[in-house]
A and B are shown apart, each in its own frame.
Chain A
Amino acid sequence: MGEPSSLSFEQPDLGRALDALNEAQLDQLTFGVIGFDAGTAVRRYNTTESKFAGLSPERVLGHPLFTVVAPCMNNFMVAQRFEEAAERGETLDATIDYVLTLRMRPVKVQLRLIAAPNTLSRYVLVRR
């Protein structure tokens, strides 16, 4: 049981490890997890991310990520990278420095963007 929370933000092949966690295990992670499907609808949203953003999961789950939940990522630095990876059938695993507007305060974060062909979930992971 103690194992899931030992998942680290940097570890390789993190997407598959996240897929294997249930929601309770996801909630124990110290970084924010937003999982979404091919149509960009949010499917997973952990407690850490919910606290960062000040939004409860009910307000977010099922809604399109880049227009309703996190419009700040709807540019070539984030959203477009997922689109391009999907178009080309490529794997995406990149960590970038970014600024999120959590509760309307500019906050420097690291984002890890994860997507792979043949998997259902894509992830944006947020570390403050």
Chain B
Amino acid sequence: MSELLEEYEALTQFLYMAPVGLAQTAMDGQIALINPVSAQLLMPLSRDGSLSNLFEALQDVAPDLRARVNGFGMSHGMVCEAMRLQVAAGVRGKSDPRVLSLTLLKLDETRLMAVLSDVSQQIKRERLLEHNEAWLSAIMTGITNYAIVSLDADGLVDDWNESIARVTGFTREAVLGQAYSIFYPQNATTQERVLDRLRDADGQGWSIDDGWRVRADGSQFWGTAMIVPLRNRDAPEDARPDKLAGLAEATPPTGAPRDASYCLVIRDITDKREASEKLRQASSCDHLTGIANRRAFFDAAELELDRWRRSPRPMSLILFDVDHFKRVNDTYGHPAGDAVLRRLAEILTNTFRQVDVVARIGGEEFAVLLPSTDLTGARIVADRLRQAVELSSVTTDGSCIHLTVSGGVATMEPGVPGIDALLKRADQRLYAAKTAGRNRIVWELPD
């Protein structure tokens, strides 16, 4: 008997000391068993300081967990594996972004097993590696379907070769002296973004983005575009951009020398789009609505903030929250609530530009990051969204649901230390919009 007790105690301590979080829950997230590391990671996230339900404890960082579990068709198996949850964006030079990894295993029809761990450090290392890999694959793959474009210090095309015509159909006359944004659809980039990519390349040794590109005849293709600074032979060694330098260590110059030049390589990867988009969607899209998830939002916001620090320009953030969302769920059920969120995501996508980042960052909370947009501009488009929602409706199971949203707008300015602080400002205004009666946009707080 005492032997059994001793074994039980050893097992208990084994679970106490296990350096990963483990929890067993019911299908609705209700926690049955949980070890200390889970509590260590979850307690700071819990809104009400209790740990009775895993989905509720994680609702701010993984709002789509319940939907994932409900949508999982098999009787047992992996609901999600090493899914990354962005907890905090981090403050440049002070704290790193915090990211948790969550694996959810359906054991049977009544039980789920969750494994949680803090992967913040690992993510930091991975980011460096990803960039280096992108470089290598670009260099190693064949060179035939590339357009190679030479750019001057301002991003204007300054030389002509046949590869440009082969991939994009543009003629020499059409491209010479034009900014390279000529290869981008109209709402997919901004004047500032054109220069941002050059500065990114100066700082890191490269800048890569995948997305829609446009040909001379207006047709679009899915392309990857890489910009590399060309070394200036006359420049002193320490002024040269250091290729493949560590992301964190590289201090980007405030502006490139007047005689800087760049090589832009555009490659048509339409045939690989499905595969690469699938991969991207798995990690950066919200499962329910298909728009960017919290993690992708923070990634994009951090990048945009870096650019803002390098050369300040307008940049705004809008937070939207569905009015009386709880009432929709309570009255019509969760599937109707889900339909409402999907509809809102659709209206958001149609209202904002391609260059804006539209994301679901909480249960019924959506964020939009607007590069090169001041407070007035953000306010106007926020209100356009509000009106579009007011005029729309969602029909599920025969009931027609009308909904409204409230929004808070904040704009980036000196003294706002980071994305968390900007979000907080927008959130305060969103709260003011709610207390003022909902279905409205607030962009300033009374003193």
Q: Which residues of A contact B (CB under 8 A)?
A: 53-56, 59, 68-77, 97-101, 103-106, 108
B185 at the interface (CB under 8 A from A): no
Q: Which residues of A contact B17 (CB under 8 A)?
A: 68, 71
- Nearest Cβ in chain A — how far from B61, in angstroms? 15
Known: A55-B12, A71-B17. 4 other contacts (CB 8 A): A72-B40, A100-B36, A101-B38, A106-B34
Chain B contacts of A101 at CB under 8 A? 16, 34-36, 38-39
Report the bound CA distance from A53 to B34 in whole Å. 13
CB-CB under 8 A from A56, the residues of chain B are 9
Residue numbers in A under 8 Å from B9 (CB-CB): 54-56, 59
Interface residues in B17-46 by Cβ distance below 8 A to A read 17, 19, 31-41, 43-44, 46
- Asked if residues B12 and A72 are in contact (CB atoms below 8 Å), the reply is no
Interface pair A59/B40, CB less than 8 Å apart: no
A99-B50 contact given A54-B12, A71-B36, CB 8 Å threshold: yes
B44 A104 Cβ-Cβ under 8 A = no
Q: Does B163 contact A (CB under 8 A)?
A: no
List 11 interface pairs A-B (beta carbons < 8 Å), by A numbering.
Answer: A54-B9, A55-B16, A70-B16, A70-B36, A71-B19, A72-B39, A72-B40, A77-B43, A99-B43, A99-B49, A106-B50
Tell me the smallest distance from the CB of A114 to a CB of chain B, in Å: 20
Tell me the interface secondary structure of chain B in the complex. helix
A73 to B40 CA separation, bound complex (whole angstroms): 6
A58 to chain B: closest residue by CB = B9
Query: How many A-B residue contacts, CB cutoff 8 Å?
Result: 71
Contact of A69 among B16, B37, B40 (CB under 8 A): B16
B interface vs A, CB < 8 Å? Answer: 8-9, 12-13, 15-17, 19, 31-41, 43-44, 46, 49-52
Question: In the complex, what residues of B have CB within 8 A of residue A68's CB?
Answer: 17
| Cα of A98 to Cα of B36 in the assembled complex, Å | 12
Contact at A104–B33, with CB atoms within 8 Å?
Answer: yes
Specify which chain A residues have a CB less than 8 angstroms from the CB of B31 in the assembled complex: 106
Contacts of A105 in B (CB 8 A): 32-34
Contacts of B37 on A, CB cut-off 8 Å? 71-72
User: Chain A nearest CB: distance from B302 CB in Å?
Assistant: 22
When distances are taken between beta carbons in the complex, the residues of chain A under 8 Å from B49 are 97-99
A55 contacts B13, C-beta separation under 8 Å: yes
Least distance between A79 CB and chain B CB atoms (Å): 9
Question: Separation in Å of the A14 CB from the closest CB of chain B?
Answer: 23
User: Looking across the interface, which residue of chain B has its beta carbon closest to that of A74?
Assistant: B40
Nearest A residue (CB) for B12: A54
Q: How far is the CB of B390 from chain A (nearest CB, A)?
A: 41
Q: Nearest chain-B residue to A66 (Cβ)? A: B40
Say whether, besides A59-B9, A104-B15, A104-B35, A75 and B44 are in contact (CB < 8 Å): yes
Q: Specify which chain B residues have a CB less than 8 angstroms from the CB of A76 in the assembled complex.
A: 44
Contacts of B32 in A (CB 8 A): 105
Question: From A100, which residue of chain B is reached at the shortest CB distance?
Answer: B39
Closest 10 CB pairs of A and B: A72-B36, A72-B39, A99-B51, A106-B51, A104-B33, A71-B36, A72-B40, A54-B12, A101-B39, A101-B36
Chain A nearest CB from B54 CB (Å) reads: 10
Contacts of B51 in A (CB 8 A): 99, 106
Residues of B within 8 A of A72 (CB): 36-40, 43
**What are the residues of chain B within 8 A of A97 when measuring CB–CB?**
49
Task: Tell me how far the C-beta of B264 lies from the nearest C-beta in chain A, rounded to whole angstroms.
Answer: 46
Give complex CA distance A98, B51 in Å. Answer: 9
Q: Which residues of B contact A70 (CB under 8 A)?
A: 16, 36
Residues of chain A with a CB closer than 8 A to B19's CB = 71
Shortest distance between the CB of A82 and any CB in chain B (Å): 15
Task: Give the nearest-CB partner of B49 in chain A.
Answer: A97
Q: How far is the CB of A110 from chain B (nearest CB, A)?
A: 11
- For the complex, give the distance between the alpha carbons of A97 and B13 in Å: 24
Among residues of B, the one whose C-beta sits closest to the C-beta of A79 is: B40
Q: Which residues of B contact A69 (CB under 8 A)?
A: 16
Please name all residues of chain B whose beta carbon is closer than 8 Å to the beta carbon of A77 when the two chains form the complex.
43-44
**How long is the Cα–Cα vector from A53 to B12 in the complex, in angstroms?**
9
